[in-house]
Structure 1
Amino acid sequence: MSFTIKSLVLYSHDGDQRVVPFRAHGLNIITGKSKTGKSAIIDIVDYCLGRGSFNIAEGFIRKRVAWFGLHLTKDGDEVFVARDNPGPGATTGSKVFIQRGVTDEYPSADNIAKNITAGSLKTFITQYAAISENEHRPESGTRDPLHANISHALFLCFQKQGTIASQDQLFHRMNEDFLPQSMKDTLPYFLGAVGESHFQLLAEFDILRKRLRLLEATEAKRLQTIELSRGRVLRIINDGKRVGLIPSDYQAVDDTVFDYLKRIEGAQVEGHDIIPDFGETIEMLSGEQRTLQRRLSELNQDLRAAKAFLSDQTEFSKEANEQQARLQSIGLYKKDDGDKSVCPICDSKLATPVPAVSELKTSLERVQSQLAAVYKESPHLQAHIVEIEQQIVAATESLKTVQAELRNAMSEDQNARASQNQLIARARFLGKLSDFVEITGPHEGTGDLDEELAEVRKLVAAVQARLNAEETSSRLETILNLIGRKMTDYSTKLDLEHSGSSLRLDLKKLTVVADTEGGPIPLQRMGSGENWVGYHVLALLGIHWWLRKKHRPVPGFLILDQPTQAYYPPDVVEGDLERIGRDSDRRAVQSLFQLMSEACGEIAPDFQLIVLDHAHLRNDWFEDAIVEEWRGENALVPRNWRAL
């Protein structure tokens, strides 16, 4: 069984205690007028059981309470939990105190101090509720696996005032993001559609699947190696053919190729004698070629210069001869008397003076002297040009000889290098062949791998068959049908709009559905607050009937806040039925409490129903169920407690 609440304990800032006791089993009623603290009980219990946020309304309680305590019991195993009040405006506290063992007297405020973290508190309460290791794995793979804990279990244990009268929200906190999906994921575990053996199988399945992946990876690697080896065999054979160690007509047709390659591996590398290196000769001839090329270049420049000079002299001779021919006409002149104003030929007076005959003779003599020098140098210049041309011919022949020798030297050097490269290529091939033969070829032990792989696949299939999702869905559907049948049975005791119809829980939409002759009617389409409250009570009582019947790890209490709110007028002070105007409403309230009382008797001894309400019925069974009545000065927190 799971735990129930033995008492609620509050501590003032001065160390005073306020204890609200509960019966561990059966119906517990706290009745009273509005604004006495009834609705805060759910938030206090939720906070003490590990909820991260502190949601008690701002006001009287936050100002006057220092610590909130909760006394839990389960088969004689008692736990006292206390959490600090973070104060006005705060959202969570940081101090948690736990004491385990039979508690006859609650610790004083001075003896309460933090001894555990809030995160550890949640883990502890999860284990205390007997929630075993579990995991929900979404089939789609788009969400992370979810582990059910005490927070998920408490969705089934609280019905706040706004929830119990809602047509859109059947369970606690289903108006918060992501929580409806968490409810859908964890409810199969809490209802028992998947038990502890399911999670043991999951753990076994994980181990086997991990082993299978490892074996499959080994097998894939082996197959890849075989396939890779075939391609590498062809490449290694082609390499051997290129270096002349394997005949060009050899073909690899079966595994005998590996024996053949081992024989080739043992071959000796034999090649031609190494030919001397021709590098020095080539370098010497190249240098001689460069020298001759420079010499030819210089001779050609000299030849061009000599020919240019000879050409210039020839032009000068032509010009000088023409001048001499013109000056030789001086023989026609008469005797020169030095008078430049008289014509030397006709002795007439000239308007413009002319050169004297002596001056003309001087010019003629100078030109004749220059022509004589040119005629004297021309034979030497011609001889020089002939000499340069002969040197060019000799240098050209020498260059041709050197270039022919250079070509022969380079050709012989290439042949020598090719021979050495062939020798090196064979040596490299044999080294690569040695490595290839060592790591490639038929392997032993493949038979054992195949047998182990087949065996693990059989085990995975067997475990997977036991984890069949369809079987889980079938079990869940059966459980929901049984709960729906119990809800239908309970509904006959209430005067609801679809009372007596076949009721069921719709887990996909988290709602109640009444299957009628006119078709299915979900809670959202049922009218009036009376129906909404009634079907919430029926659904939660039916679920807890199953939980306690199967000893599921959900706390054994259910707290309902204001289930009669649809009948009483606002701000009611007294809870007598006379405060309700209509006879039908009074009968409905009476029937609702009678159902809760009878259900507690049926689900007993492991079920605790705590009802927080205005009502106070004058029946013996109702009076016996009252644990406290908060009217007048009575309330959850004493009025005389000091506020901070």
Structure 2
Amino acid sequence: ETVDEFEGTTTVEAAKAFIERAFGIGDVISEPDAAAARGRATVRHVTPYLFVTKEVIYSESTLLHGLEKADKARDIIAAMPYFLRATDEASAIDERRLRQLQRALEKEEAKARSRAAAETALKQRATNLLTEAHRIGLAKSPSLDAPEATLLAELKTIGETPLQANTYPDEGELGALNRRRREILAEVSALRRHLQATRTALREATGFQGAVLRQRDKLMLAEHLHLDGIAEVCPVCEAPSERGREAARALRTTLTKVRAESVAVERVRPRLVEHDRALEEEIGQLNIELRRIDDQIQTWLRQSEETRRLADLGQLRAHLLGRISFFLEASVDEPRQATRDLSVLRAEIAELEARVDKEAKEIKLRRAEARISQFASEAFVALPTVAPCIGSELDFSSRQPEVTVIEEESGAVLRLPDVGSDQNYLAIHIALSFALQRYFQTVNAPVPGLLVLDQISRPYFPTSGEDEDEAEISGDEEDEDVQAMRKHIDFLFSETARRKGLQVLLIEHAYFADDPRYVNATRERWTRASGQALIPLNWPARGDE
């Protein structure tokens, strides 16, 4: 259909929904609440697999179109398992909802902890007043686990109690408090020694890990020496000698030992970190109890001083009742934060966790990544590359996502920044794009069989800018760059011929006039001589231009 044959106008959302139905995206009926449907795959998430733009085609940091923008990358990565057929749309929405609820639960629990900390001071003052009231016989001993509202209610009851003579503070209580204080200090001292020992072990483990990693990096050079091929003769006099092989065996033994030590450190270090955190929490709890004991001791001493200062116990009680009355009046003005029942939130999280099968998804993702890596490696071999990528394999991961290069002979693992050549980056992006398309066709994913490539000649002719005219290539003596370009063109034609339903749209400055396939496949030539362009020159410009 042409543009003129489309019927009427529509909204952006309706047009997107129409395109998604045409592509086969989505297996969940759309909900009227747009916020409830967040997390579902949309037509916007297909574009990374269709467009290899100028920002991506030979980039060392951006693997797919759209990942260079942080606000888009998160949704693209979240929707990738759906297009890889590792999950369906309903599960993807459940996973997103589960992550949202887990974050909400973390925030609510943090608020609850903050509320508890804010209420501690008020609760502590109320407990101190009740303790004083207990010592002079106005109330029973306060419970440490009683909520704030209960303590305030007890204080209010005391404030309404008529004065009656009773006993003075018990001397035995001060001794018990001091004994408990000494016990807490001893426990804190022991825990601090354990904490210091744990942190010393952590520092030593970290330093040892760094030393092991440096040793391993140095010993990794031995993999490039082909130790299995050491001859039994001296390389100088050619006399029989086992020293070379003995040295090789020693190197291999050392490398194995260093690797084992590195694994041991990685296994032990998290346990030390967890033990360190547990010790800090235990010390914190003991410090809280110590402050409470100190407050009670100070209260006892202050009350004893007040008892001696006041003429009789009746005056002491009257003085305490006045303090309680003042405290209750002041506490009325303090804001109260309503506590939220988190049981419903936890129940919904548990229900979603039961519906989301993460293990099955991980298995399917690993299988998809393995097949895409195989397809990409097969394509990578057919494309022009330079060292260290000649004959190498590609390993694809959807988690980041990222691609690593595995060297052919040494098996060394290279990240994209280590590849170090625009020609290699171009080959990696082309191989990955065709591998993804091949996989999508295999699993019948809702991704159109279309690749739009923007100037594969960029690494070979970097001086050609956006305003440069078409560069015609025909039959002259060719340098390595032109020959590499021809390999890319041969790859495009061979892949489109091999993959039924795959279409490649190439936007290119270079024009191979001596290649009949290229000439016949060219649909538009936007040159200065033709006066034509991708965006027609006679189109009206916006008013702000």
Which TM bucket (shorter chain)?
0.3 to 0.5
Judging by fraction of residues, say which structure has more helix: 2
Q: TM-score, normalized by length of structure 1? A: 0.39
Judging by fraction of residues, say which structure has more strand: 1
Larger radius of gyration: 1
